[in-house]
Chain A
Amino acid sequence: MKYEKKLMFVMLWIIMLGLFLHVINNISDITGAVTGVASVQVAGITSITLTTNNVNFGLVDPGGVYDTLDDFPFPFVIENTGNVKANITIARSANSTALFSGTGGGDDTLSFQFMPGIAENDAYDTVCSPSNWTNVPGTTPVLAVCKLNHQTPKDSVQIELMIVVPLDEPIGTKSETLNFIGYQA
């Protein structure tokens, strides 16, 4: 009986210690600011991938027109690897310059255009996506693909590119970096 009482006493202390530590642990989260209850609705993951991060047109001639429609070079392929439909915007990266500087070159000109290309069946909404060649903008993004699906196997789309080399384009290597930004549709 004596031992039972001692055992109960020890167990009671353990429980009280546990409760004390639990309270301390919770108190340590308090920052002093007014804290509200956020009614956050977790909707999922927005996630996009590219199978390649560059398209190389190689040596091009002034006045020449080149595109990726014949898969040479192969276009960008964007896949929605999240769990929600995504809109994808396109823009020139702020750290990059426009591809061409000759007459007719620069941002938002016919010298550099894109359009959503071959897609897996019903992969994106063609009503709100561009349906023809569209000028690649400057750093202000425009919609490139609207409501790209996330369910495999209809979750990827090619982004076709077309370049028209200005006749007076200075000789040298040319490059531009594009930003593809995805967000929940």
Chain B
Amino acid sequence: MKMKNKTINLIFMLFLLVDIVYGIGISPSRAIINFEPNVEHKITYTIWNQGDSDTNVRVYVKGNLNESIVIPKESILVPARSTVPFDVTIKLPGSLDVSGTHDNRIGVVESSVSLSGETMIGAITGVESQLYINVPYSGKYLEVTLEVGDVIVGEPLEFKIILNNLGSENIVSAKGIIKIFDPNNNQITSLNTDVVSIKTKESSEIKSYWIPKDVQPGNYKAIVSVDYDGKVAKDDASFKLGDLLIQILKFNAEYVKENKIVRFDIELQSLWNEIIPGVYGEIKILDLNGKEIDKIKTEPLDVPAWAKRTISQYWPIKDYGMYKAEVTLNYADKTTKSIIDFEIKKNLKLEPIYIVVGLLFTTIIILLILYVRTIKKQKNENK
């Protein structure tokens, strides 16, 4: 009851704090039931209409146990900026063949949006509450989930290992080892966890910490193996070690003949876990001796954390030939450079007048050959 009041209070606190136009919420976001044959459960859900107008919300059930889950009605009217509770009854069957977690969903989605315009994309929001029904495995069975976030090189990294005893027996001793792999899949270190015991249908959590030092930024992987009473359960997770760095993934030049311009594309990726504002490129066009011919700048761009982006700029050509292009990306008092060679080839354009002159010239040549042959033939006949 206390938890329910707390949830409702939170809903209304959020309701008061947020300035919203369209949106929907559901509580609880996840419910877990341990399977027992022929047992009935009742869960009260709350729909939260965050929009400025009353809305008809469609309620649906998804999952392999959808026939055992009964919703009161498929459409519920929720007044603007209000909450409406509804009860869901779960009538568990006599048996379930598959052990483990059965992922079912209680979903609520807004009614459709009316669109009026030439080329319109409309959007409606919906939310799903996960209804997990855990069917115990016979004997000992441990489910392991590894959670890890992204950090900057040098900052402590937390590994959270969630241990769910989904078996019918207690687990006396569970101990994990976390192996960490660099972007080239080489193991760089390993960490041992504490030992815990977990009763049946209960869960436990272990935390381990690592401070990444003398390592390159990039995508890393951690694999955890948990030994429990002679059995092993594993999970893995990827994480990023960041540095205030932007990589140039690709830099290329393409000559656009029609407009007599060269289009430069710079494909880049941020290795920083925050947005890098105002990233711009400076492209120097050099001749083959390295002498600067021209210099152009790209528009500044905000690059989100870890995002890949492509920035382009155009250069009106001055002459044909071989060139070098050197791009310097500028961001947060740092630079990244890349250089390429490119060629601008002259393109002969086939004007109609050239075709007419060419055809005329060819005709004259053919006629001339025929004339010479005829003269020769006449001479031979006269002889």
Contact = CB atoms under 8 A, between A and B. Distances in A.
A66 B119 CA distance: 11
B305 A40 contact: no
Nearest to A100: B119
Interface stretch (A5-13, A19-27, A55-63): A55-63
A60 B112 CA distance: 24
A39 B119 contact: no
A82 B29 contact: yes
A95 interface: yes
B122 A175 contact: yes
Interface string A32-52: 011110111111111111111
A40 B33 contact: yes
A114 to B, nearest CB: 10
Interface in B1-49: 3-4, 7, 10-11, 14, 18, 20-34, 36, 38-43, 48
Nearest to A57: B119
Q: Is the interface of B mostly helix, strand, loop or mixed?
A: strand
A45 B306 contact: no
- Which interface class (under 10, 10 to 19, 20 to 34, 35 or more) fits B? 35 or more
B126 interface: yes
A57 to B, nearest CB: 4
A163 interface: yes
A156 B84 CA distance: 25
Contacts of A46: 25-27, 29, 127-129
B307 A126 contact: yes
A183 B275 contact: no
A50 B52 CA distance: 12
B127 A47 contact: yes
Contact of B305 (A76, A122, A176): A122
Contact of A48 (B23, B129, B306): B23
Given A39-B33, A40-B32, A127-B238, A49 B119 contact: no
Contact of A53 (B105, B113, B274, B302): B113
A53 B20 CA distance: 12
Contacts of A122: 150, 273-274, 305
Contacts of B28: 40, 42-45
Given A84-B29, A127-B219, A183-B130, A177 B305 contact: no
B23 A47 contact: yes
Nearest to A125: B150
A25 B10 CA distance: 29
Q: Is the interface of A mostly helix, strand, loop or mixed?
A: loop
Interface string B210-221: 000000000100
Interface in B121-154: 121-130, 150
Contact of A178 (B32, B43, B122): B122
Contacts of B129: 46, 183-184
B50 interface: yes
Contacts of A143: none
B119 A56 contact: yes
Nearest to B128: A183
Contacts of A103: none
A132 interface: yes
B348 interface: no
A161 interface: yes
Interface string A57-99: 1111000001000000000100101111000000001011001
Interface of B: 3-4, 7, 10-11, 14, 18, 20-34, 36, 38-43, 48, 50, 91-92, 105, 107, 109, 112-113, 115, 117-130, 150, 201, 219, 238-240, 273-275, 302, 304-308
8 shortest interchain CB distances as A-B pairs: A49-B23, A47-B25, A36-B39, A46-B29, A126-B306, A57-B119, A177-B122, A43-B30
